[in-house]
Amino acid sequence: MSNESGKKPQSSHKKHVARLQREKQQTRLILYTFFGILGAVILLLVYGWLDATYLKLNKTVAKVGDAKITVRDFEPRVRLQRQNFINQFIQYQQYQQFGLDVSSQLQSIQYQLDNPEAIGENVINVLIDEEIIRQEAAKRGITASEEEINEALQNGFGYFPNGTPTPLPTGTSFATPELPAEALKILTPTLPPTSTPEATATSIDETPQATEIPATSTPLATPTVDATPLPSATPTPYTEDMFEKRISDVNKNLSQIGFDETFFRNFFEIQILEKKLREQVITDIPAMETQVRARHILVADEQAARDIIKRLQNGEDFAELAITLSTDTASAVQGGDLGWFGKGQMVADFETATFALEKSGDITIEPVKSSFGYHIIQLVAKREIPMSPEQFQQAQTTEFKTWLEGLREEYGVEIYDEVWKQNTPNEPNFITAATQAAVEELTAQAEQIATFQAVTLTPIP
């Protein structure tokens, strides 16, 4: 009896100890699981924060050689472009209030804002061009000094500490070459020498101006002039402090869309490098333009065009056939004469065939197909004329863009479409712009009220 009674408490004690150990293990397991879950949550939060503030911003959207263009570079430029579009939209709406038809401009801007990828793609290409300019300039030893950047920055904000520069006269005068003798022989003498309509009696010089005052039977009141002239207003000088304040204000606004204070200096540096690079690239562009004068016969089908070519080869008159057979009624009455034109003014196939003709009187031996039908083309004359300043500038711009585009393969440009498309902002938009404007207006009102209260509560000495 004594042995059995002694074993029962010992057995009960062991079971109790075992139960406590199991409970401790379970508690420890629960704690480990809890801390494991907590750690995973913390890691996810930290990763999310890093991804939003660091990893995401350092993702590569494009590469130019070894140089990377990141989301950090891309996103602010997209936002800036969107803001520019919104500002333009508001400006065009103001023009519309004065009766101007700007519906096409408004629709174009609206389309851009509604399609973020269209803006994103444009920004990507601009950033790539800027990086190519930066690398190509370095290769050629082209630099932008601190003095040049400072001057460009000042000029960009309209601050001229050494005086406003005097604009240089623009414009080029030249005489239009006369038609050569062989061209005059080709054109039918009874037809007008050009398809350009002559001025009529209702020309602009004889049209009454909108500002003309109609005659009335009541004489206009004559203003009286005071003997003592009023003092003239003196403009406030644009000082260096005002210039610095303006830059500071603009930088503050730009910081709200992701730019730091180096943006302006980098922007003007690229402008300087591009200008110097452009001067080297476009030095050999001729300032002359080749123009042709041609006439044509347009028909609907190829066989009809071939039949006309045979009739011309047999000696029939081009102008007469154009008048009777050409479906281009505007030129048909001129014997098919299209007047003078340069490259880029006609559809591509027609232009290529026309400029390929060499001598006055040459006719295409095969019909030239275009979206309008089938053409039989005769070259009347060719000439070289000086470009206008606008044409020459456009030719230089086109040449530089073509050259820059050709460098993409040399520099091994890579674009990561998936990355930039995922990181293309869709704001600012009209809602955020309206909200920001409302906040700024309320802030300005609050500042005015505070100023008024400060003035009215100041005791008079």
Q: Is residue 209 part of a domain?
A: no
- The predicted model gives 55-77 an average pLDDT of 93
pLDDT grade for 437, boundaries at 50, 70 and 90: low
Residues 99 and 128 in one domain: yes
State both tokens at 13. 């004690």
Both 262 and 410 in one domain: the answer is yes
The residue ranges of DSSP E strands in 300-419, in sequence order, are: 337-341, 368-370, 373-386, 413-415
424: left (phi over 0), alpha (psi -120 to 50) or beta: beta
228 or 182, greater pLDDT:
182
As a whole number, the mean pLDDT across the chain is 80
Here the CATH number for the domain that contains residue 127 is 1.10.4030
- Please write the tens of the pLDDT for every residue from 309-323: 999 999 999 999 999
The per-residue pLDDT for 62 is 97
Distance in angstroms (rounded) separating the CA atoms of residues 159 and 272 = 18
Q: Quick check: is 204 in a domain? A: no
Do 125 and 27 belong together in one domain? no
Question: Do residues 378 and 296 share a domain?
Answer: yes
Mean pLDDT value across residues 174-200: 50
Nearest to residue 74, comparing CAs of 455, 420, 427, 319?
420
Alpha helix ranges (H) inside 161-209: 181-186
Same domain, 47 and 146: no
Judged by average pLDDT, the poorest of 10-19, 102-111, 304-313 is: 10-19
- My answer on whether 328 and 382 are in the same domain is yes
The mean pLDDT value for 29-42 works out to 78
In this structure, the answer to whether residues 150 and 255 fall within a common structural domain is yes
* Region at 102 (left for phi over 0; alpha for psi -120 to 50; beta for the rest): alpha
The reply to whether 5 falls in a domain is no
Number of domains present in the structure of the chain: 3
**Same domain for 315 and 439?**
no
Asked if residue 81 belongs to a domain, the reply is: yes
Q: Is residue 301 part of a domain?
A: yes
Specify if 304 maps to a domain: yes
- Assess if residue 192 is contained within a domain: no
Higher per-residue pLDDT: 197 or 243: 243
In a domain, 402, yes or no: yes
pTM beyond 0.85: the answer is no
Residues 80 and 112 in one domain: yes
Considering only residues 280 and 26, tell me which one the structure prediction assigns the higher pLDDT.
280
Same-domain pairing of 323 and 429: no
Give the torsion through C-alpha atoms of 373, 379, 381, 384, to 10 deg.
60
For residue 324, the SS3 value is helix
> Taking residues 52-58, what's their average pLDDT?
73
Q: What is the pLDDT of residues 376-418, one digit of tens each?
A: 999 999 999 998 888 899 889 999 999 999 999 999 999 999 9
**pLDDT tens profile 36-48:** 787 777 777 766 6
**Rg for the chain (alpha carbons), in Å?**
38
The pLDDT, as a whole number, for residue 33 is 81
Mean per-residue pLDDT for 140-166?
A: 88
Domain range spanning residue 326?
Answer: 289-386
User: Is the domain of 156 the same as that of 302?
Assistant: no
In angstroms, how far is the first alpha carbon of the chain from the final one? 111
* CATH code assigned at 327: 3.10.50.40
Looking at the fold, whether 91 and 152 belong to one and the same domain comes out as yes
